[in-house]
Structure 1
């Protein structure tokens, strides 16, 4: 990738992280913020938006670090296993392990006596379904061999990037970090070939 295209790729991913965090932040706390819009308190709205945008830039940088780390890991995996088939099996095992962790270990650590497993199962299912959708489009854009690596990236790497919010386990922070990271990860995964092939 040429340096000019890399800069464009980096900045566009930053923008996605910032904008998505701004929108999601207002949606998640609409009950608190709606009076600001009703009373047309522009300064207050802009200050909150600026803060959310800045947080989104941080999420975007985390996402980009994870993406380039995964590109390296993927090459190492292919080199170690010396077979796409065996490397794909290893990735599927890791995907299942991470999904299990998202349900079982989070439930063990954070659930109280009245909570059921369903909310923990729901978030893991959501991460998996988003991964399936993005992997499907990646496979459609490239080839069928891209499905498992794309799913691995969208499930395993996203979960690793999401770890700071997972530790806090506060619902708004979980979603505020997860959704922008998913959007940045999906964008990078689907758009990288267009940037590498562009002149």
Structure 2
């Protein structure tokens, strides 16, 4: 081989070797720190994601807690207006006790519905129970009786009332009131009302 060519090859090999060494040095001093930085960044992003997921789960728990409190509050509010069927006797007895406490005369009560309560048309969960009460007493006692009913829970509604003068002289007026309360329809009565092939409103709405 020509000495000049050999010298050229040696120089070329040295140049390529130097370039390779320079490339490796650049890779070690520049690329490796970037990879480490990328790894650290990825780790930080993962930590941020975990923190985000944790805060999101905590927010869901908090929202669930708030929703539970609202449901309880709504249930408590509903209990002010709606009674269970098995509470009716207690309610009517309490109203009789109010009349005795006020001191009205000849207090009487009788149920209006053939059953303990009646269903409301197109209403799936709520019914009404009503009684007719009558007594004699002064207007002051009548006002006190109505005032006590307004404070009663569950709420008692006065559907109708009449006050008539007694036929006997020096006798107090006679009052007659129709009282009603809302009641929850028992599950077994819902099934009877629906019939064997009926679909409940909740299911029908989904369908």
Q: TM-score, normalized by length of structure 2? A: 0.23
Q: Which has the higher contact order (CA 8 A, sep 6+)?
A: 1
More helix by share: 1
Q: TM-score, normalized by length of structure 1? A: 0.24
More strand by share: 2
> Over alpha carbons, which structure has the higher Rg?
2
